[in-house]
Structure 1
Amino acid sequence: METQKLITHFILLFLLPLLFISCSSAFTTIDNYLISCGSQNNASIFNRIFISDSTSQGSIFLSADKSISLTNQNLPPQSPTLFHTARVFPQHWELQAQRFDLKSANFSVLVDGNLVLRNFKPSNGALLKEFILKIESNLLEIVFRPEGNSGFGFVNAVEVFTAPADFVVDYGARLVGPSGVVEYKNLSSQVLETVHRINVGGVKVTPFNDTLWRTWIPDEEFLVFKDAAKRVGITHTPNYQKGGATREIAPDNVYMTAQEMNKDHSIIASQFNITWNFPVAPGGVRHLVRLHFCDIVSVALNFLYFDVYINGYSAYKDLDLSSLTFHVLASPIYVDFVVDSDESGVIQISVGPSELSSSTRMNAILNGAEIMKLVNVPGSHVVPRKKRLWVLVGSIVGGIVVLLLVIVALLLSLKCRKKKKKKPRQRTMESVGWTPLRMFGGSSLSRMSEGTAFPSPGSYGYFGLRISFADIQSATNNFDRSLIIGSGGFGMVYKGVLKDNVKVAVKRGMPGSRQGLPEFQTEITILSKIRHRHLVSLVGYCEENSEMILVYEYVEKGPLKKHLYGSAGHAPLSWKQRLEICIGAARGLHYLHTGFAQGIIHRDIKSTNILLDENYVAKVADFGLSRSGPCLNETHVSTGVKGSFGYLDPEYFRRQQLTDKSDVYSFGVVLFEVLCARPAVDPQLDREQVNLAEWALEWQKKGMLEHIIDPYLVGKIKQSSLKKFSETAEKCLAEYGVDRPTMGSVLWNLEYALQLLESEQEGEPYDDSSAQEAVNVTTTTIPGSPSSNVRREGDNDNAYSDISATEVFSQLMNREGR
């Protein structure tokens, strides 16, 4: 017999029906069975007595089937006596006890008829299996079933006790996945197997300190970037509220500690996520993720807003703990999510600041996390022969149908090709989808990107942009944390230097994660086709070993937002600098909209996606949400809403019809952001001031906009320049896209606002009204106007040209001039 280092232990919690617990009273288990298996004596652990199943008191729980008691004398004396003995269930009774080697055990476990473990082979070391299930009958049967002719099962101890009826409820769980977030129902009918139970930001909690005798372990080993998190705690008891979490959901110690964003660390950007990776069963296995929250960091209600991500998907946006805890601070709650694991075998949980957070209140917290596997109850029961037959027949018929569909598709494809040969047609961008990178030697993670419609990479793919993982490791000193310059939903961004001494920004997606795959593909597709002074250039990419890495030109001074209000240490931008930055960004956007047959719509224009180089030249960045615009015979693209809160075009949001005027609206918000030096959304302000666009428009209509501009600019802006700038921003924010100017017109007006600032002459500027959409707008040429220094936005031409106003406006205003 050999039992050393092979220890198993089963805990079975079952939900007691019709049991209602008051939040103020302690929960007491009505049924509590603690069995020490194979022992001749009772055992004690955590002041709890386990009854021997060999005594008259304990044997009443053991069935009449033959089993064997085993004792291991080789375990250290200090090890818990509970694990010194085991009950063995052999397949054949003829086997002798001394022939058992527990390393070769192979068995299944059924609880109340549910197969909770299949072909289970215990590995070395202590192992505790915990299951939670709902029991309707008065008798609970646990069966250890040996597998194979010489198989046998064993168990050291069994715990069975009741949990509160509301421990797992059927409502409120959020199913998170690529299709968004929907409600998951009938959760209590599932069998749950505990995988992880984490006390985030705290120490280990032993069963002695938990009303349901659970163990909670610290979160440090699961943190992806430890410097992004900072421990926080309180000394007083949490404020439990009726309808919130109870001590049975999680003990006090879990809700009294948390991890919050470490905004004090010198290498952390102003916006980042705290991320944990938890190993789980791979391959689409469904899990319940229970997250515990208790706002122990806020000084007032409605102070904390943050977002929750699971496996890269948005799981809870703009989470306001105050609204969920009946407006009581430090009040425990929990939120249940249901997610599927991917092939990486990792469930990733992230929390980060919401768009509703102001620059001074950006924070996110997490107090505890539990991950439980949903045991496949319907598939775990024995399937009758007739049902098996239908499954088999269904599979065969399904295969035949799929084969027929493939044949039909091939025939239609051949027919279409013949038609195309007879009548050649220009191939539009919309007809060509993403070509998966793995066709050119990438990883198996590559797949078709939903909703992306851009040119294919051509016969040679993107080989010219490939950078090896080894070169990127060298450039970033093996992803040295001291080189981190930012972080976001996609992953960390590192500063690096390639072999040719070129400075780069390396954006590394979380290895093996699904998050950001469509954005990864879209960025490569777009940026590999365009080059422009005011667009961030893609240096290369890497897709090896399940890595998704994008390498960009390094933009020295970072996001525009930081220079307006994002962080201390930046000198205020002058009005001329702000105008030049807006003009540069407008040039980049104008090129996107007009540089291709269909144009490209960015969809996420905001101050964090406009970067500044060492000379404060603006570069538009982050094309992960971009997509091709409508064809010439179309007015819009019908697509799901994407963008950032506060910058989102309301017409696009209502109708889900995307045009380039959606970018114009977002850019209008940026213009007011530049002028007023405040966030697009600031929930800490009075109600009428929360939304910058609405607030600025009100003051603009009053003719009193100078009352809300950046105090640094007061008295430093020529009135005519401010007037032209604010009128341009106001037009961008028109309610309907048809009333908004084109980016070409926005660019013209911003150029003119700069001319007014620099010139003593203040003539009446050009106005892009609907009556001037014809080519004869060239009659409005003004001496000293910006027509003489408008850039021709070609791929490789970044210099000023000497083209006339007629040529300029035939391109900007006439659709066919593109």
Structure 2
Amino acid sequence: MIETCVFKLLIWVFCVFLYFACFSCQFVPADKYYINCGSNENVTIGSQVYLADNLASKYLSSPDNILEATTSNSIPQTDEFGLYKNARIFTKSSKYTFKISQKGRVWIRLYLSPFVFNTYNPSSAKFLVSIPNHVLLNDFKSDSVAKREFLVNITSDSLVITLSPSENSFAFLNALEVVSAPDFLITDDAQGVSPAVKFEGLPTQALQTIRRVNMGGPTVTAKNDTLGRTWEPDTKYLLDSNLARNVSKINSVRYPSGGATAEFAPKTVYGTATKMRSEDDPGSNFNVTWDFPVDQGFRYFVRFHFCDVASNSTNDLYFNVYLGPSNVLPDFDLTTINQNFLATAVYRDFVTSTISSSNLRVSIGPSSFGNSYPDAILNGLEIMKINNSVGSLGGVDTVPSSSGSGSKSNVGVIVGVIAGIAIVLFIVGLFFYIRRKRRLERLHHSKTWVPLSVNASYTMGSKFSNGTTTSAGSDFGYRCPFVAVQEATNNFDESWVIGIGGFGKVYKGEFSDGTKVAVKRGNPRSQQGLAEFRTEIEMLSQFRHRHLVSLIGYCDEKSEMILIYEYMENGTLKSHLYGSGLPSLGWKERLEICIGSARGLHYLHTGYAKAVIHRDVKSANILLDETFLAKVADFGLSKTGPELDQTHVSTAVKGSFGYLDPEYFRRQQLTEKSDVYSFGVVLFEVLCARPVIDPSLPREMVNLAEWAMKWQKRGQLDQIIDPNLAGKIKPDSLRKFAETAEKCLADFGVDRPSMGDVLWNLEYALQLQEAVLHNDPEENSTNIIRELSPQLNNFNNDDSTTSAGQHDMSVVDDDLSGVSMSRVFSQLVKSEGR
């Protein structure tokens, strides 16, 4: 009986813990204002209270005080019915002013109904709604209930919404919302359409929601969406409903680590889908198509939501996705993206060119890739208008400025603008002069590779071919002609493939002079594109270090994205731990590989003016040369760290499932400690020699980090280590290694060690494996390391500098690795040294 009660209590505690854990992950808006305009009573919609007009008057500056109400039955009986029964009338320009405590993205929602008027003619209403530097609505007229939603970027401490009636007309408003939105909702990761290049500057644009659609499912109301959005069914937009059918598996939806979350779309959206009606017909060849009305003359942000709730197994599902006439996702493969998990939420963002028609067409259809069965699915779709070149969403040629100056100050404004332009032109000219001068000096003194679009050219020597002219920033790194890459890889011979990743296939290659290389060729179907390609080149062209994989060249001819690296004979660390049948590594070898990897990451974090955060630390990105020297690879997701006066970088979450820092995932705030967390997972992977995520195992064992931490906290980690290491690890070495991994996996970044501290602790674990301490075997190892720190500071004082004036940290690390570590740790090896 007592055991039953205890068990029930534990279940209850666990449920409470899960509730608060989920609650803590949900986005909480810093600012939220809800106003029931025209009514002297609060109204509750769902769980949200809209403030009565008289109580909200502190936000309003208006010469009018005209309220209207109706009991008309013509108002649609929706969940938001109560917001359309009253309205405030404005016959002159009026302003709502809201204090903004957290700058960034904000939802503005306007509720508008013409059915509320008793004394005013609704057909006479014509007005403009604006905020500083943006027009939201222009010449608005409506003969039906309307809800207009905008997502704007606020950079000041207040938000002013102005309603301006046209001459001999009036403005009205039934309800108003101003609510903070997560900045990570719209990031600069959208792909352009015609041309298919990354669209820059999206986070600063004002957006208006045109359509938000739940494919294959019913209406999802604001109370069922974490961000208060409404999703409508797709049926009225389908061109031919006979070609499509609906599927629904809402309870099976899962959100991946580092990907889509409930803030992007709720499970009620991801759990339903419209798919091809292609059952029992392997010859089906048609598209499922939707048409959406849009305004001409604007670009549109389009977000596709996918979740494979239609398949019964993880067989490859390939399909094409079309936006207008463009195939924006050719041979789209959800299975590979989701690491063989079904029902996993995924979204993809695109920005159209300026639309010249009154509708936007979206289609999905079968792919011919790999003889896959003809099928295609779509779960949700969002279409948002992007402001035009002058900041307007209403089609006007000019927008109100943020100053709000009257006509009396026009002359002063004109004079000020002219003077300002003159000053700006002077500053810009001075800036470019100084920049050009510094660039010339840097090119003269340094060996920095300026990748991609550069103006300098020279004739490439015999390393690749004879007499080929190519562009390069210096004589250190250069483009490689496509024909040379073809020759080196035997025309991309499939039998020469040595790996496949998210970017594409990796081929073994050899140039005519005998240089062995690894050639990574971008796959056009890959979701990693130009941004990752540029980042990889820019990062690796800056750094040269013994424990970072060297970039030899790149090729961007014929729309190719090819990266050429030094060849690493022994492949990935992961392949030597499990899954490939290669001989098992000894404990000393594994420690040395971890130490080398830590040195490479430590250099990234400290060896440059600003830290570089890798963002994808995992065993598959640690490569081994012919001597098993470890080198960190794959910098496509790397990010420059925060400025000196900042603590973090706010950015969209990216990384690999199982290795991702949970604090980074929750807060979208990236620091070097995110790499430390991922490296801690690698340490347990090295020790236990099993995948970090293994769905085939019992629930408590699926996640390696969680499972290993449980055993570590019990003091029984030795029970789950790689059987090949059983009895071969000295207890003190195992203890120090496990303590280091545990600290790396601390919940909060501030509690994790730096990569430099991790490096020292791993060095110490190696010394404990190689030698026995004769005195005080239980001595606290952390204190011993601290005593040795001054010796290392002496090493650092001998650092060399490059010609560009930067400390060459590779010299530092190489000096340390060249010095026998027995010198550094001689006190530990010899009792007389203590």
- State the TM-score, normalizing by the size of structure 2: 0.48
Q: In terms of Rg, which structure is larger? A: 1
- State the TM-score, normalizing by the size of structure 1: 0.49
